[in-house]
Structures are given as C-alpha cells and as structure tokens.
C-alpha cells in the first residue's frame, strides 16, 4: 500500500534520479517535476528517464520568462551580489522552482514534496522555506537528512555506483575559457527604464532584443562566447560553514555592470548610499532562502521605489572575460558637465568651498583637542 504521493523536484541528474528510485523503494508514489529555467537540457530524454525510473507522472514546466521577470530583474535593480562576488543565480532560481513545486503538489493533492539538496547546503533551506511559506501543511522528505539514506549513500561515489554512471568532466557549461574567446569584442547598448533593461542592441550587428527572456538569453550567449561571469570562490553558507563555489553568470554580469553605471549616473548620492545597504541585505536574504519573507517583500518595494529615475542607455564592450563601460546617456542624468568642468565656471562659486571645508574641519579640531587633553 502506498504511503502517499510525493512531488520530487527532479533535475534528471544523479542525485534526484537515485532519490526517485529510493522514494519508490520506501513505498511512495512519485511525481517528478523538472523546471526549465534556461539550462541546456534534453527535456524529452529527462522525461523518459523519469518514467523509466518509475515516476507516476512527469511535469516539465517552462519557467524561463517567470524566472527572468519575477526574480532576475528585481535582483538587477538591487545590484544583488552576495559577499561582493556571487550573483545569486542558484539562490534566485530556488524560490522560482519551489513555488511551482508547491503549486503542482496542491493541484495533485500530494501530501509530500521532496528535493535532492544536501543536509549541509543552502538549497534545502531555500526549497523548504518557500514551500512552508506557500503551503504550510506540506510535509518535506529530505533524503540527505534521513539516516537510512545518507548511511547507505556516503556521497556521490556511492550514488554513481548505485546508478552505474560516471562523473562529468567539464565544470563550465555556459562560458568559454577567456583565453579561447574571440579576438574581436562585441559592443552592446543596453537601455533601462525604472532600473530594468528594456532593450539590448548589438551596435556592430545592428540587431536588438526587447523582450525580457530574449534579452537575457542573448546576453548569456554574448557573455558566454567571451568567457564573462566565471567565478571560483569560498562562500559562507547560511548553515554555518564555508564552502567552495564555482559559478558562471554571463548575462547577469553584463547587466550588473550596465545597471551600476546608469544607476550612479541618475540616482541622488544619499539615496544611493541607503539603497546600497538595502541591496546588501536583500542579497543576504535571497542567499539564505528568505525570498518570501515579509522583510524581503519590504526591501523589494523600497528598491523598486529607488529605481524610478534609473533610466537611459549604457554602451559597453564584452571582450575576453571582461565588461568595459564605454559611455552612457540619460534624460534623468544628474551629471552636469558645465558644473564640474575645469574650463567653465558654471553656476558654482569656488569660494563656497572654503566654508564647506571649514565646517568639516571643525570635527578635526575637536578631536585633536580631546587627544591633547588625554595625553
């Protein structure tokens, strides 16, 4: 007799394929759910594989547009980077995938969901916090936290023996080695409105994209061709340990550089200083799995408000692993060339700087006086 129906977040890879079989061994009816968020995957083969492994049903859902519009673009507005380097690609994908996982579980009246995230990582938290936020009564089966599973499978080697397969050879799938990238750069112009890209143009080719998914896929293509967006880092997991992460985010890296440039060009200094702090907090919340928390929702509203005047075009060059900003223009620019020029007086009286310096120097005089009394 079946223990119930479980919807498994299925990737078609080693871990979740073994977990699918293991769940069936434990007496569950398994529904496999595979999300298309833009990965290079043979989805027909993945469907057949899940069916051959014994899945009762297989759902393959195209979430690419949803992922770009509802998760990636808000992160672009936030300049979201975790610990100064990680662009949060995986962390952003998990709440998107988990939301659809829950929707399928509710539709199929499944009491359980399951995932292949390890008991040491962040993804278990991301999947489960999202699931509980959207489906509070759901029960989660996390095999890598169940002794019967992790004592049987000590790691990937045991899983490969169980599945009778071999390990992948190449870690980078989206990007070329920068040394092997073309010797001619691609020059792009990215247009923003409210901090969101609305058009990407290849200046030399004269071609353009203006739909969110098409823009992002095109930037991934260009960035990947030039080896942009590769990082090899040691990061601090939410669970309390350091881990090595190897990531590639070609399109996101291009968008981040372009957005940083147009934002600085159009945003008030003090507003941007506050917004930078909000972006850091937002990045931490996303990384730690709190996308659907009330505090993250609040930050999203604040960040969106900050982007009202972030509008204009940025021209850049993509070449051998790097993104080079070439110029920018905006109807909302706060840059005044006459005001800062060394060749024109403009509307600024240089004598005013004397008072500005004296006011700020008062603090130094006070500190020096305190130091003298102490010594």
Q: What is the C-alpha to C-alpha distance for residues 254 and 32, in angstroms, rounded to an integer?
A: 34
Same domain? 240 vs 139: no
**Which of 166, 188, 222 is where one domain is finished?**
166
Which pLDDT belongs to residue 343? 75
Which pLDDT belongs to residue 170? 64
| Range among 14-18, 77-81, 346-350, 371-375 with highest mean pLDDT value | 77-81
Task: Evaluate whether residue 240 is within a structural domain.
Answer: yes
Same domain? 199 vs 154: no
Q: What number is the average pLDDT over the span 325-345?
A: 87
When divided into structural domains, the chain yields a total of: 2
Task: Evaluate whether residue 111 is within a structural domain.
Answer: yes
Look up the CATH number of the domain holding residue 296. 3.90.1260.10
Per-residue pLDDT at 1 exceeds 90: no
Q: What number is the average pLDDT over the span 271-297?
A: 98
Task: Evaluate whether residue 372 is within a structural domain.
Answer: no
- pLDDT of 153-200, one tens digit each? 877 778 777 776 655 556 788 999 999 999 999 999 999 999 999 999
- The two three-digit tokens of residue 140, written as one number: 């989660």
Query: How many angstroms separate the Cα of 86 from the Cα of each of 89, 126, 229, 284?
Result: 8, 16, 10, 11
**Which of 143, 166, 189 is where one domain is finished?**
166
Which pLDDT belongs to residue 165? 66
Q: What number is the average pLDDT over the span 269-282?
A: 98
Q: Of 173, 168, 165, 230, which Cα lies nearest the Cα of 39?
A: 173
- pLDDT of 189-222, one tens digit each? 999 999 999 999 999 999 999 999 999 999 999 9
Task: Evaluate whether residue 375 is within a structural domain.
Answer: no
Query: Per this entry, what is the length of the chain?
Result: 375
Per-residue pLDDT at 374 exceeds 70: no
pTM: 0.91
Task: Evaluate whether residue 171 is within a structural domain.
Answer: no
Which pLDDT belongs to residue 90? 96
Which pLDDT belongs to residue 158? 81
Give the residue numbers spanning the domain of 121: 4-63+86-166
DSSP code string of 120-181: TSSHHHHHHHHHHHH-TT-EEE-GGGSHHHHTT--SHHHHHHHHT----S-S-SS---GGGS
Least confident of 48-57, 167-176, 241-250, 253-262: 167-176
- pLDDT of 132-154, one tens digit each? 999 999 999 999 999 999 898 87
Which pLDDT belongs to residue 246? 92
Residue ranges of the alpha helices (H) in 267-319? 269-288, 294-306
- pLDDT of 292-334, one tens digit each? 999 999 999 999 999 999 999 999 999 999 999 999 999 999 9
Q: What number is the average pLDDT over the span 220-246?
A: 96
- pLDDT of 110-124, one tens digit each? 999 999 999 999 999
Q: What is the mean pLDDT of the chain?
A: 93
Per-residue pLDDT at 71 exceeds 60: yes
Task: Evaluate whether residue 364 is within a structural domain.
Answer: no
Which pLDDT belongs to residue 362? 87
Which pLDDT belongs to residue 324? 98
- pLDDT of 95-113, one tens digit each? 999 999 999 999 999 999 9
């Amino acid at each position: 007799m079946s223990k119930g129906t479980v919807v498994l977040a299925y990737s078609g890879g080693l871990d979740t394929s073994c977990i699918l079989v293991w769940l069936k061994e434990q007496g569950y009816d398994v529904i496999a759910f595979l999300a298309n968020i833009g990965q290079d995957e043979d989805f027909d083969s993945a469907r057949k594989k899940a069916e051959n492994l014994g899945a009762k049903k297989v759902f393959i859902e195209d979430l690419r547009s949803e992922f770009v519009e509802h998760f990636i673009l808000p992160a672009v507005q936030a300049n979201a980077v975790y610990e100064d380097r990680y662009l949060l690609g995986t962390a952003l994908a998990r709440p998107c995938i988990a939301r659809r996982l829950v929707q399928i579980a509710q539709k199929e009246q499944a009491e359980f969901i399951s995932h292949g995230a390890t008991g040491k990582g962040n993804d278990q938290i991301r999947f489960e916090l999202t699931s509980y936020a959207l489906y509070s009564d759901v029960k989660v089966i996390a095999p890598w936290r169940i002794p019967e599973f992790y004592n049987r499978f000590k790691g990937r080697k045991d899983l490969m023996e169980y599945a009778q397969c071999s390990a992948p050879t190449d870690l980078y799938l989206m990007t070329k080695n920068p040394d092997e990238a073309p010797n001619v750069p691609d020059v792009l112009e990215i247009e923003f409105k409210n901090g969101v890209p609305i058009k990407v143009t290849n200046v030399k080719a004269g071609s353009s994209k203006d739909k969110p998914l098409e823009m992002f896929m095109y930037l991934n293509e260009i960035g990947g061709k030039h080896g942009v967006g590769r990082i090899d880092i040691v990061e601090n997991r939410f669970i309390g340990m350091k881990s090595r992460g190897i990531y590639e985010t070609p399109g996101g890296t291009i968008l981040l550089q372009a957005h940083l440039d147009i934002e600085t060009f159009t945003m008030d200094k003090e507003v941007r200083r506050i917004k930078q702090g909000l972006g850091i907090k937002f990045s931490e919340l996303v990384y730690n799995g709190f996308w659907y928390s009330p505090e993250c929702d609040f930050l999203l509203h604040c960040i969106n408000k900050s982007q009202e005047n972030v509008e204009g075009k940025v021209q850049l060059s993509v070449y051998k692993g790097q993104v080079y900003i070439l110029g920018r223009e905006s109807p909302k620019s706060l840059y005044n060339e006459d005001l800062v020029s060394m060749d024109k007086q403009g509307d600024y009286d240089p004598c005013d700087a004397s008072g500005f310096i004296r006011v700020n120097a008062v603090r130094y005089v006070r500190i020096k006086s305190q130091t003298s009394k102490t010594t």
